[in-house]
Structure 1
Amino acid sequence: MAVGIKIVKPSHESSDEDDIPLSQRNLIKKPANHDSSDDEDDVPLSQKVERKKRVVEVKAEQVSSEEDNVPLAKRNLDKDRKSKVPAIAKAIKREIKSDSEDEIPLAQKKKALKKTKSEPMDVDKPSRKRQADTKATPAKPGKKVKKDADDPNFYKWWEEEQNTEIESDDSVKWTTLQHNGVMFPSEYVPHGVKMKYDGQPITLSPEAEEVASFFAALLETEHGQNPVFQKNFFNDWQEVLKQDPSNPKIKEFSKCDFRPIWSKFEHDKENKKAMTKDEKLRAKEEKLKSEEPYLYALVDGRKEKVGNFRIEPPGLFRGRGSHPKTGKLKRRVQPEQVTLNLGVDAKIPEPPKGHKWASVVHDQTATWLATWKENVNGSIKYVFLAATSTWKGQSDMQKFEKARELKKHVVRIRNDYNRDLKDKLSEVRQRATAMYLIDRLALRAGNEKGEDEADTVGCCSLRYEHITLEPNYTLHFDFLGKDSIRYENSVEVEPQVYKNIKIFKKQVGEGQMIFDRLTTTGLNKHLNSYMKGLSAKVFRTYNASITFQQQVDELTKPNDTVADKLLSYNRANRQVAVLCNHQKSASKTHEQMISKIGDRIKAFKYQRMKLRKQLYALDPKQKKKGEFAEPESDLEDEWIVEHEANLVEKEKEKIKSRFEKQNDKLIEEKQPRMPQSELKEKLKAADELHDRLKKERKLDKIEPKGNMTVEKLANAIRKIDERIAATKNQATDKEENKEIALGTSKLNYIDPRITVAWCRKHDVPQEKVFSKTLLEKFRWAQTIPDDWKF
């Protein structure tokens, strides 16, 4: 079946990862219910609730057809992508054979913990001294905490004894918990710059000036030009204006001129750019010093890094995509809105002067450190430990192990939903059709949205207008998915699926949900009957990881260069990103960036041309035969002249820079500066370079410098060839990925152990594919054997 991916609307690739609680108790107000399948993988370990064990087991002799083992629809990438990657279907038409050791999900074994008194964090000492003074206590009574050679305080939780059961939501997560609360943004300092209304400067109260400044800062952005953004801002701003009688009456947005404030901000930006290196360093040190008390928490004696410890500053809500509340005022969060979670004996952090905390709780079943409610959407915000923490690492491992466990059940699930596609009950038939789409197209399950939320949908909430019936059993999907990213895709489906969609559309009519008898809760409950903890989201993770494993194995060739292997890795990653509909807008500077890469390739070819001419001087036979006989055909004379002029100019800049540094050193040593005449003498070297390059441009042979030999020159040319090939791959990679976001799938959907095993097998440094942040986040993935497979 063919798939057409049409990039329609840019959006952020990031997902909400910090707002999902690990447990929700009656001690604080619970957030609104939401479907776990629609979240972006921050579901903590504690939310994987114990459910009733299913009785029916998959029979060992159960066999499925080749089609049943295809985790995704047979489909090709859009021809416009011009990708060399084979169709997804080709890579995934294989039987899924699971070794018994790969089918057991890991979970951190928990035991009853005895309460021990926690010591207050010593915030008066620098972090390094505190770290040295801290004596880490065992995470669990009777167990030895695993240490790391580079970081003696790092807890290697994955080396502890594991079991196969996922803990219930109300299990104890910690015995002692100490932290320093949250960091509030600075109070607003009025700048006094007057905006204009109806052409006249006006004076605003500090509160009104602050909100006006929020809009002025976005004046030249897409948000500032958005009519919905403008309307929502203006309505909220008027409410602020009314709070102080001294504010002028402002009735029409069109008469407002925020440009004077915008100009002030632009001037501030220029001043910031003009700061000296020392000034920037001092500002950075001050920032780090202010953040230091909030960076770490002590959990059962372990020092764990805190994630989002900063309270979001006030501003104008932007939202993702076409959010109806974009532009509304996000009010300043006060300590009276913040609830802290601490150990019973932990020292309660001091709130800002003149304020108090909403409350302090001691919920040992929860892993959030602080929580509050924001005013725009009424959602609950949480402070968690960082992505590198024990709790988050355990949650990630459990998530991917759960996806691997699905391999044991996917055959029976597919057999069942294919059978149920013809069931007499409409409810069963709708469920089977939705499961087919979720499995084959990696759609999210979807939730119903309120009137004041963006009109985004998932599989279960698709409406009549979102699917169009086309010839040859093809369904055309067109809807806004998570984060308002448009999903537009034409897919050839099974005849029975096509028939079902046709019937459902006829039954419900225009504007109505196609699966009117199906809910995400009911769907996930049915999936849970096959496997504990199974949801639509697990299918998405499974299909992403199994597709990546198969694609990266097929595309990577043992004899490829590292650059070629990285290109294959990114192409496999792109297959998953396309599958999961992870899009981004092409960068405004994309064409300029590609042009610069092209110039860099030409610069390498220029170096190679110079080396070849030196080689010809030592061995004239190389000009007519051998691997170095082919000239650089795409180096135009005009480009060479321009390039050499740039080389001379760069040489002049280097000479001037060295001259200034030498003078600075002389001044420090209290010696007189060198005269400008000496600089002019030094700059003659650049003039000599200009004359030499101009002379060499007309020569077929160039006398080599120093002790260069034929072998040394040949090796140098080969290295240049490798750099040219690597840079060409970089250009290809950037062009193919200009509208596809690879980061989200790598962060949330692809099992990191696949990448670790691939890097080991093909001798690729992990730093080439994992950022420093991901290397720290996925340290637990390093313990696998070299032949590990998803």
Structure 2
Amino acid sequence: MSSDEDTPLGTLASTSGTKHATTDCNSSLNGFADHSAMSEDEMPLSQVNGGQTPVRPLRRKRDSGQVSDSSDDDVPLASSSPTKPTLSVNTQAVATPRAVLDKSKQTNGKAKGKTKAPPKKRLKREEKSVVPDSSGSEDERPPARRRSKTKVKTEDNADGTTLGGEETKPKRKSVPKKETKKEDSGTPKPKSMKGEENDEAEEEEAKYRWWEAQQENDGEEKWQTLEHNGVIFPPPYEPLPSHVRMKYKGKEVDLPPESEEVAGFYAAMLETDHAKDKIFNRNFFEDWLNVLKNHPPRNGIKITDFDLCDFRPMYEYFETEKAKKKALSAAEKKELKKQKDAMEEKYTHCLLDGRKEKVGNFRVEPPGLFRGRGDHPKKGALKFRVRPEDITLNIGEGVPLPVPNMPGNWKAVVHDKTVTWLANWVENVNGNYKYVFLAAGSSLKGQSDMSKFEKSRELKKYVDRIRIDYTADLKSKVMADRQRATAMYFIDRLALRAGNEKGEDEADTVGCCSLRCEHVTLEAPNFIVFDFLGKDSIRYYNRVPVDAQVFKNVRLCKENKEDSDNLFDRVNTALLNKHLQSYMKGLTAKVFRTYNASITFQQQLDEGTPKVATLQEKLNAYNHANRMVAILCNHQRSVPKTHEQSMGKMRDRLRALKYDHMKLRHVLFNLDPKYRKVKQYADDESDLDDEWIVEHEENLKKKDIEKAEKKFAKDNEKLVEEGKKPQDESILQEKITAIEVEFERIAKERGTGRASLKRERPVERIEDSIQKLDEKIKIFKLQMDDREAGKEVALGTSKINYLDPRITAAWCKTHNVPIEKIFSKTLLTKFPWAMEAESDWKF
């Protein structure tokens, strides 16, 4: 779901600014000039059913989760949609990091500014995790711990909904006592979760700056007091009306609620690509048959063949209900949202050490069909309804225990101060743990993010030595060392993920250490072709030149092996990370990925940002740098299905701007024919043919009439609310008639090369309006180029997980770019500590 909270602040600002720039045109052309403003479907995006739990099929084997590797939600309009040049840019993907590596000493100077890296001795040491799960992003890793009071596995979720992050964090600086009121015990007194917080408490909460505050806990403890209201469960399933039934062999099937609910999950997806997938259909049908065994049709029909099932009646009912919701008035929608917000209000925040902190995902996932990522072998499997008996709560001792919003008791309640999750449960499809954490903008999550990027910056001190050593080991007589060095070469130079072994029932995704011989092809004299499924089953294809010794090593690794054999049979992630930690405390292979992404980004910005440029040109340079990182990290995405439609709309808006430009030129010609000989006004808009102009003017007329009707209705609603008599319909008809007369006048001017304004204006103002339109057209063309260039690359993942946000903050200050043009409201909330970086700060 998209929300205002997730919409980049710069989006609306840029649109309103554009309108302001063309105010003269708008007033002069009675609506011609700014009909190109962005529509809602072009604005950037940011993130049920109920019923009885069906009888569960036999438990499946565990499967390591997959987390979405991209997010387009944080990309503002001014930057265009995130996307990627085609992978024919593979040479760039290699050349870029190489160039950075060669110049790393130049870009790795000491950072300056307010937000300085904490000294090494002040950084909280990371957990010794020999085998980190490389399948998830560094920003989404459940908390590691040494002395946990509960034995809870920390893994990513399989469908990309994992919340959480690394639990390491820097110690805070001291803060004046007035900011933290303490009891005699030295622990902040927690506020009550009941009732409204007073203004003073809210003001104190708003001022809390964890990166400057004194850290209250020591050792492994992340908090001292924790109070929350648990999680909110989805509503129970409501059976469909009796006339809405699926069919089998053309006959209606009377399903009980338990099996009807599962059938409804599939029916709702009938027109999606999922329903066309054989694996998805097979897994759904197998799980549904297990439910039908215990909850068979009440009219005795036996279902055995998927192809004979007709879910169309259910699908049509769902679509009708969806249309009804969409047709609700604004007031009705507002009221429904108000009711929903009121119901969820107490779950949205918790009290952590006496401070009110926002909770991330407090909603328990409703039951449904697992979609997975890419070619996941379990897509279509049934996700069971989660109940209180499945959930373990983590909460402070001595605080009121939350009461579930559905019948049942919690599975367990723990008081573990060494972790930051509030609740967890195990989902049935892959057997992975799901967690509820604090929101991205919380103090604990911010400390985790800052610690992660500081660790990547710390790698600068050791990276040269590491590279010298693995380059030497490429020729080692010990085969294990040689393989490890070759793997490090790929991880460092190509930003490959480390990779872990997978189970038989998991998606066949691999990383560097789990590459098989079939994934690597050698092409003389020194090219290696990588072709495998990476995280989220995204294909990684890259043909790259490598050092001669690396080419030789890969050839040796492939000798006398089958295609299905591991390329590196003497190295794994555990051994690799153990070796890396001999250089630097807490260093793992995935730190290289963050380091190379950020250092590449810094170098690309430094080299690619024009010294003298317009705002849009600077934004394009920023997006280009981000694309280079996305290519390096293989953050691909399929071209959006709506891309061509979106580009078509943009082309129409560009033509609309040119139309306004043409009309103003014709106004000048009408006022003074000598303007026809002025070069800047002489050229016609070549892509405006007569047919398009007629259609455009007709659309403009319809929009003006609709606008008049809406204003008339809104004015009447206001009059009725004030107890006054509404306007007569004749007033609306007069306005519509005036609009029609105006467009008749405009139609007569068509093809004459002359135009007039409804209200006369000085020539100077018309010239100024034309100049503003010229600038607007130029900016809009840059936006179109940027969107087209990035249609296959997901820029969001890099921005959220791999790029130190201080790079962006410093760049924006240096080049006078409003950071709202780049960071969404969500990211600004997530990285408040980064906003204080000075303009000369470098990664």
Task: Please give the range of the TM-score, normalised by the shorter of the 2 chains.
Answer: 0.7 to 0.9
Structure 1 residue 752 and structure 2 residue 814: aligned? no
Give the CA deviation at 1:311: 0.9
Partner of 1:184: 233
Question: Which 10-residue stretch deviates more, 711-720 or 402-411?
Answer: 711-720
The one-letter code of the counterpart of 2:488 is M
SS class of match (2:425): strand
Partner of 1:714: 767
Alignment RMSD (CA, Å): 3.2
Partner of 2:193: 122
- For normalisation by structure 2, the TM-score amounts to 0.78
C-alpha separation in 1, matches of 2:64 and 2:373: 18
Partner of 1:54: none
Aligned 1:523-672 pairs, distance under 5 A: 523-617=576-670, 620-625=673-678, 627-668=680-721
The one-letter code of the counterpart of 1:182 is V
SS class of match (2:211): helix
Partner of 1:52: none
Count of paired positions = 707
Structure 1 residue 197 and structure 2 residue 248: aligned? yes
The one-letter code of the counterpart of 1:480 is L
Partner of 2:562: 509
Give the CA deviation at 1:236: 1.5
Cα 1:15/1:425, change in 2 over 3 Å: farther
Asked whether the 8 Å contact 1:135–1:301 carries over to 2, the reply is no
Partner of 2:9: none
Give the one of 685, 704, 729 matched to 2:782: 729
SS class of match (1:304): strand
C-alpha separation in 2, matches of 1:727 and 1:635: 17
The one-letter code of the counterpart of 2:103 is R
Question: Which 10-residue stretch deviates more, 592-601 or 353-362?
Answer: 353-362
Asked whether the 8 Å contact 1:622–1:628 carries over to 2, the reply is yes
Structure 1 residue 356 and structure 2 residue 409: aligned? yes
The one-letter code of the counterpart of 1:322 is D
Deviations 1:146-186 (A, max 9, x none): x5xxxx434211123699xxx99x61111111001111111
The one-letter code of the counterpart of 1:203 is D
Deviations 1:123-161 (A, max 9, x none): 3x3xxx32537489xxxxxxxxxx5xxxx4342111236
C-alpha separation in 2, matches of 1:135 and 1:34: 41
C-alpha separation in 2, matches of 1:234 and 1:517: 42
Asked whether the 8 Å contact 1:324–1:452 carries over to 2, the reply is yes
C-alpha separation in 1, matches of 2:246 and 2:63: 43
Partner of 2:284: 233
C-alpha separation in 1, matches of 2:490 and 2:735: 71
Asked whether the 8 Å contact 2:94–2:494 carries over to 1, the reply is no
Give the one of 282, 290, 311 matched to 1:258: 311
The one-letter code of the counterpart of 1:214 is F
The one-letter code of the counterpart of 1:738 is K
Partner of 1:108: 170
Cα 1:117/1:507, change in 2 over 3 Å: same
Structure 1 residue 402 and structure 2 residue 411: aligned? no
Asked whether the 8 Å contact 1:216–1:258 carries over to 2, the reply is yes
Partner of 2:145: none
Asked whether the 8 Å contact 2:190–2:353 carries over to 1, the reply is no
Partner of 1:132: 199
Partner of 1:380: 433
Partner of 1:67: none
Partner of 2:343: 290
C-alpha separation in 1, matches of 2:274 and 2:452: 36
Give the CA deviation at 1:82: 13
C-alpha separation in 2, matches of 1:779 and 1:111: 16
C-alpha separation in 1, matches of 2:800 and 2:735: 52
Asked whether the 8 Å contact 1:421–1:432 carries over to 2, the reply is yes
Asked whether the 8 Å contact 2:232–2:404 carries over to 1, the reply is no
Structure 2 stretches of 5 or more lacking a match?
1-44, 48-60, 71-84, 124-168, 175-181
Asked whether the 8 Å contact 2:172–2:215 carries over to 1, the reply is no
Partner of 1:173: 222
Cα 1:77/1:673, change in 2 over 3 Å: closer
Give the CA deviation at 1:451: 0.7
The one-letter code of the counterpart of 1:569 is Y
Partner of 1:96: 105
Q: Name which structure has the greater RCO, CA cutoff 8 Å, separation 6+.
A: 2
Asked whether the 8 Å contact 1:120–1:346 carries over to 2, the reply is no
Identity %: 53
Structure 1 stretches of 5 or more lacking a match?
1-13, 17-30, 42-75, 137-146
SS class of match (2:468): helix
Aligned 1:214-233 pairs, distance under 5 A: 214-233=265-284
Cα 1:779/1:671, change in 2 over 3 Å: closer
Asked whether the 8 Å contact 1:91–1:554 carries over to 2, the reply is no
The one-letter code of the counterpart of 2:494 is L
Give the CA deviation at 1:618: 5.1
C-alpha separation in 2, matches of 1:616 and 1:187: 69
The one-letter code of the counterpart of 1:603 is A
C-alpha separation in 1, matches of 2:258 and 2:319: 21
C-alpha separation in 2, matches of 1:212 and 1:34: 27
Structure 1 residue 212 and structure 2 residue 222: aligned? no
The one-letter code of the counterpart of 1:380 is Y
Cα 1:221/1:733, change in 2 over 3 Å: same
Structure 1 residue 242 and structure 2 residue 277: aligned? no
- For normalisation by structure 1, the TM-score amounts to 0.83
Question: Which 10-residue stretch deviates more, 244-253 or 488-497?
Answer: 244-253
Asked whether the 8 Å contact 1:462–1:515 carries over to 2, the reply is yes
Question: Which 10-residue stretch deviates more, 199-208 or 309-318?
Answer: 199-208
C-alpha separation in 1, matches of 2:417 and 2:172: 13
Cα 1:35/1:475, change in 2 over 3 Å: farther
Cα 1:205/1:687, change in 2 over 3 Å: closer
Give the one of 361, 378, 400 matched to 1:347: 400
The one-letter code of the counterpart of 1:199 is G
Partner of 2:322: 269
C-alpha separation in 2, matches of 1:33 and 1:203: 35
Asked whether the 8 Å contact 2:110–2:842 carries over to 1, the reply is no
The one-letter code of the counterpart of 1:740 is V
Question: Which 10-residue stretch deviates more, 701-710 or 270-279?
Answer: 701-710
The one-letter code of the counterpart of 2:544 is V
Aligned 1:33-44 pairs, distance under 5 A: none
Cα 1:787/1:700, change in 2 over 3 Å: same
Asked whether the 8 Å contact 1:35–1:447 carries over to 2, the reply is no
C-alpha separation in 1, matches of 2:593 and 2:351: 35
Asked whether the 8 Å contact 1:577–1:740 carries over to 2, the reply is yes
C-alpha separation in 1, matches of 2:803 and 2:503: 32
Question: Which 10-residue stretch deviates more, 666-675 or 534-543?
Answer: 666-675
Structure 1 residue 452 and structure 2 residue 505: aligned? yes
Give the CA deviation at 1:675: 4.7
C-alpha separation in 2, matches of 1:92 and 1:783: 28
C-alpha separation in 2, matches of 1:82 and 1:528: 31
Asked whether the 8 Å contact 1:307–1:384 carries over to 2, the reply is yes
The one-letter code of the counterpart of 1:282 is E
Asked whether the 8 Å contact 1:35–1:521 carries over to 2, the reply is no
The one-letter code of the counterpart of 2:529 is H
Question: Which 10-residue stretch deviates more, 197-206 or 274-283?
Answer: 197-206
C-alpha separation in 1, matches of 2:230 and 2:86: 48
